[in-house]
Chains A and B, each alone.
Chain A
């Protein structure tokens, strides 16, 4: 058995608000294997966003260790974390977070630009990523000319274009209607199946978490449950 993609041990994140110290995460330990699809659940303030920021290398833990693909990334400098985000991680946000007044193609090219990819290769790979999410013909549209679902597809293409090993999705369907949500989840499912990409996804909705293989629930900064999604489905069916 190879090393897990994500290996977190006793992870703490403490915020200092003046004199008061607030622990958002209090000693989380878990492994996520390469190729898993994990849903993260929990009420707001449970520490799940803090956890996502930490494994996304947007933030550094106060204490504890974090190994990504076997590399210790807990003590990296901001610039080193930027490099990890660029190469290893793709982000999909609830509010899409595309650059306004910038074409879909240029939005998708952005990570390649910071990754020092040659110009013509940037274009080629960005076009391929857009095609993969079904946006052929929309390359020159700016976000305001695209529907919510299309914008989220641009965001997924942007997350994929660097071929990361880890996709972090923070409520990817939170701003979308049911039909569009299903389309987005179908794209994620296909990527997971065909590319074997690891997905960690925050969600509030049991319907959405049902697409995952494993559901981790946070409360008050600790993990309170970590079960296969199938057991939840069975429990739900049992109640019904």
Chain B
């Protein structure tokens, strides 16, 4: 312990003697570590914000999309003729054990009028469970219930964007009467603002009403009972694949699809999307990390180079130390500690610069960044390892000098 402290003191003194050289030697490590930390911060920040946006669609969410219908060999793309029905959704909720909750919707773009204001938006007929499945609460008022569904009550819950376009600031929409396709509806609630999806769609530009009301009063009576989309929430994140399988199996059975025949629906999980975006950002981060690692490697070679010069330059010093009783391991340790101090000091400076750079990027460019303690700790450890690895050869060279030759060295 004492030996280490003394050696550390000697190393610091040796490095202080050549301040400029030490600083330049550290530069490679500084740049490498700063780059790693900045890159990882930006990458993780971007990843976290994408994940958050995907989360905002609902937790453990599965989407069942109608489509891929084959009627007499003609395939229509998804969203064409709907092959899904409200009773499919009800069956999913009842029979699939991995599904916790289910909802479905039918939608159309309609005009809504309030006073002298009007706005075109998406009217969605859905079930009272929609808020639970999509993880979407009302900010004000209440959601419609089962009774509204059974009696096809003319009640509507508005998205924030619709409220902004129809109502003045400070005006409470709850209780107001709006006209949708000339049918009067009472506003019973306002949804929490959810923001944009990853692909830039405004999720708040929407009106929700009971499914029965929508079918009978707004959307017309064509293809009664069909739905545009089914949402199911899995019973826990780990059961998402199981839930997707159960849904697919149930729907194939209900739609009488023979083995070998194409499905007339698609089951998608949001976790797939999350994973896709995560792996894309991971590729990017890895790429940047490998560039930064090269910089660390170059920095390490710089340290080795300078130490080799230093060993030659200080041959006489090594001889003096040996003549007064320094053993090989004392000399080895001395140069090794110098290398580690150089590398770790570079690592610390790099961490400081990287952290402030990440902060600056999020302030100036407005990119989200996330400081990763793992990246900071990891790059410090790595720079220490670089010091050990690249310091060992020069240190060993120094420790193997012949004391007589070293003393005579000019």
Contact = CB atoms under 8 A, between A and B. Distances in A.
Interface of A: 53, 56, 58-59, 78-79, 82-83, 85-87, 91, 93, 97-102, 110-111, 113-116, 118-119, 158, 162
A239 B323 CA distance: 41
Contacts of B403: 58-59
B373 interface: no
A82 B2 contact: no
B291 interface: no
B404 A83 contact: no
A53 B405 CA distance: 11
Interface residues of B, number: 22
A93 B408 CA distance: 11
Nearest to B400: A78
Given A83-B327, A100-B317, A101-B17, 16 more contacts: A53-B404, A58-B322, A82-B326, A85-B323, A85-B325, A87-B325, A91-B323, A93-B407, A97-B323, A98-B320, A99-B320, A102-B13, A114-B326, A116-B2, A116-B3, A119-B6
B320 A114 contact: no
Nearest to A158: B324
Interface of B: 2-3, 6, 13, 17, 316-317, 319-330, 403-404, 407
Contact of B327 (A58, A59, A79, A93): A79
A240 B404 CA distance: 41
Contacts of B323: 56, 58, 85, 91, 97
Contacts of B17: 101
A82 B316 contact: no
A80 B320 CA distance: 17
A53 B403 CA distance: 10
A110 B321 contact: yes
A114 B325 contact: yes
Top 6 A-B residue pairs of the complex, sorted by shortest distance between their CB atoms: A86-B325, A111-B324, A114-B325, A82-B327, A79-B327, A85-B325
A103 B316 CA distance: 17
Contacts of A56: 323
Given A83-B327, A111-B324, A114-B326, A99 B404 contact: no
19 contacts: A58-B323, A58-B403, A58-B404, A82-B325, A82-B328, A83-B325, A85-B322, A91-B324, A93-B407, A97-B316, A99-B320, A101-B17, A110-B321, A113-B6, A114-B321, A114-B324, A114-B326, A116-B2, A119-B2
Contacts of B13: 102
Nearest to A88: B325
Contacts of A86: 324-325
Contacts of B325: 82-83, 85-87, 111, 114-115, 162
Contacts of B6: 113, 119
A62 B324 CA distance: 23
B320 to A, nearest CB: 5
A118 B404 CA distance: 29
A82 B316 CA distance: 16
A68 B128 CA distance: 100
A59 B404 contact: yes
A110 B323 CA distance: 11
A82 B403 CA distance: 10
Contacts of A99: 317, 320-321
A98 B324 CA distance: 11
A17 to B, nearest CB: 14
Contacts of A59: 403-404
A110 B13 CA distance: 14
B319 to A, nearest CB: 8
Contacts of A83: 325, 327
A101 B323 CA distance: 19
A138 B71 CA distance: 104
Nearest to A98: B320
B211 to A, nearest CB: 83
A209 to B, nearest CB: 23
A62 to B, nearest CB: 14
* A87, A110, A115: residue with the most chain B Cβ atoms closer than 10 Å: A110
Given A58-B403, A59-B404, A119-B2, A97 B326 contact: no
Name the residue in B6, B325, B403 with the highest tally of chain A Cβ atoms < 10 Å from its Cβ: B325
A25 to B, nearest CB: 14
B301 to A, nearest CB: 27
A158 B325 CA distance: 12
B34 to A, nearest CB: 32
A115 B330 CA distance: 11
Contacts of A85: 322-325
A116 B7 CA distance: 12
Contacts of A97: 316, 319-320, 323, 407
Contacts of A101: 17
Nearest to A81: B403
A200 B229 CA distance: 102
Nearest to A106: B13
A59 B407 CA distance: 12
B129 to A, nearest CB: 75
A111 B3 CA distance: 13
Contacts of A82: 322, 325-328
B328 A78 contact: yes
Contacts of A118: 2
